[in-house]
Amino acid sequence: MVLNRFVGPLVGLALLMFASPSPAQGPGGPINQDESKVPPYTLPDPLVLNNGEKVGDAETWTSKRRPEIETLFETHVYGKMPGPPEGMRFEVTSEDKQALGGLATRKEVTVHFNDKADGPRMNLLIYLPNQAKGPVPAFLALNFGGNHSIHPDPEITLSRAWMRDNPSKGYVNHQATEQTRGASASRWPVETILKRGYALATAYYGDIDPDYDDGFQNGVHPLFAKAGQTQRDDDDCGSIGAWAWGLSRGLDYLENDLGIDGKRVVVMGHSRLGKTSLWAGARDPRFAIVISNDSGEGGAALARRWFGETVRKINTSFPHWFCTNYKQFNDRVNDLPVDQHMLIALVAPRPVLVCSAEEDHWADPLGEFLSAKGADPVYRLLGTDGLVVQKMPPLNHLVNSTIGYHIRPGKHDVTPIDWAAYMDFADKHLPK
């Protein structure tokens, strides 16, 4: 008896250890980029409530399941973030009605996140097409190198914010130099966007939260702290949550700009900012369309698919991006109560476009496609056409259904081909 009581569980444990796949072979293990090694996995069903009941109608999705999934992502992945801050105000700091040779009106607007003169703030750069007859739809997207990096236009204010060093491009001592003007212009076909009738609004992501692990002392994080709070709670948001919050504050301004139709704002982001645009669009139903470019792990790509970056890897390389709770899943990805198809489903029924690049194995293009596909049942339940293909489309072919998908040749980047897909998608899906 005595023996059984103690030996029994040990034998059970040993059996369990042998029966379960070694953690080295799966999404908690090393990096895999070999399709033949991807083990089978089962995704959580977005249309089953936490209590196990099936979601069979739109009303149950909207009133019960959607809030459940949003809470699951807040609690376990991105963390909670507050609403708009008290005392927020907008200050137009420059305006030129004849920018870019008369093609555009360029505006710079400071979004002050509180009423203090030296408080946290974000500087928006906005180009509006001068040929417009009335308020225009807009793309809102954060940038990696300062507003002045998106175009060589010498009148854009050079950012003085903390920058990631990149001496060959002119980012030295964590500061942008004059050399960085237009440094990222290849990712921002401003003139083409304007000629197609869209405005473009952008802000430097580091204005909202500098992209390094500082224990959440800088950026907007102090604004988020509850009274008397000195340490971050395990479900408080990290940098991705903060950047997403900043996008909503950008939209707060755009809704007030007479040149822009606030009901037709598309949120777009690349890579870590693609993860951010998905979370921003999931959280804030005012975004009319949500676009993710090469967003990969923690963005559009399925966490359970063992291909490319993993939960463990991203939480180790970037400990400040997600909430603390997410780290609990480093080696237990299959225990996550969500996967990223459910993030896409949170956008439903609004149009969402997932864009990949063929050589971007780190971001797992197939995992991005399958995640879009995994959101399809929710989109269909809500009366849309969902994602109308069963298999990855060929390169450079935009699947232009309510869930859109596009993959182009080449590497992890944003190119004019990507922008053409964004605009074709927006032309079709923005409310008229």
Residues known to be catalytic: 271, 412
Residues 46 and 378 sit within 8 Å (Cβ to Cβ): yes
- 115 versus 165: smaller Cβ distance to ligand GTR: 165
What token pair was written down for 360? 């971007």
- Least Å distance, CB 271 to ligand GTR, is 3
How many whole angstroms separate alpha carbon 61 and alpha carbon 398?
A: 28
Q: CA 369, CA 295: separation in Å to the nearest integer?
A: 11
Instruction: Report the residue from 76, 112, 272, 350 that binds ligand GTR according to the rule CB under 6 A.
Output: 272
Q: By C-beta, is 157 or 330 nearer to ligand GTR?
A: 330
Contact window for ligand GTR (CB under 6 A) among 165-173, 309-317, 329-337, 375-383: 309-317
Residue 399 and residue 388: Cα distance in Å, rounded?
7
Shortest distance, position 117 Cβ to ligand GTR, whole Å:
33
Residue with tokens 């739809």: 137
Nearer to ligand GTR, 240 or 348 (CB): 240
Q: Is 249 in the site for ligand GTR (CB under 6 A)?
A: no
Interface residue with ligand GTR, options 207, 236, 309, 418 (CB under 6 A): 309
Strand-pair category, 171-172 with 260-270: unpaired
- Smallest distance, Å, CB 351 to ligand GTR? 23
Contact between 311 and 303 under an 8 Å Cβ cutoff? The reply is yes
Q: In what order do the strands lie in the sheet with 403-408?
A: 89-99, 104-112, 121-129, 199-204, 136-143, 260-270, 289-293, 352-357, 403-408, 399-400
In the beta sheet, which residues pair with residue 265?
Answer: 138
Q: Which is nearer to ligand GTR, 108 or 309 (CB)?
A: 309
With CB under 6 A as the contact rule, the residue among 207, 209, 261, 297 that binds ligand GTR is 297
CA 74/CA 415 separation, integer angstroms: 32
Interface with ligand GTR: number of residues (CB under 6 A): 7
Of positions 271, 292, 315, 401, contacts ligand GTR by CB under 6 A: 271
Bond into 431 cis (ω within 30):
no
- State which of residues 141, 161, 314, 382 lies at the interface with ligand GTR (CB under 6 A): 314
Chosen residue from 79, 219, 238, 296 binding ligand GTR by CB under 6 A? 296
Q: Let me know how long the chain is.
A: 432
CA nearest to 142, candidates 216, 249, 69: 249
- Minimal distance, residue 261 CB to ligand GTR, in Å: 30
Identity of the amino acid at 229: Q
With 0-12 / 13-18 / 19 or more C-beta atoms within 10 angstroms meaning exposed / middle / buried, residue 286 is middle
Shortest distance (Å) from residue 296 CB to ligand GTR? 5
Nearer CB in complex with ligand GTR: 173/317? 317
Shortest Å distance, C-beta 287 to ligand GTR: 20
Residues that bind ligand GTR (CB under 6 A): 271-272, 296-297, 309, 314, 317
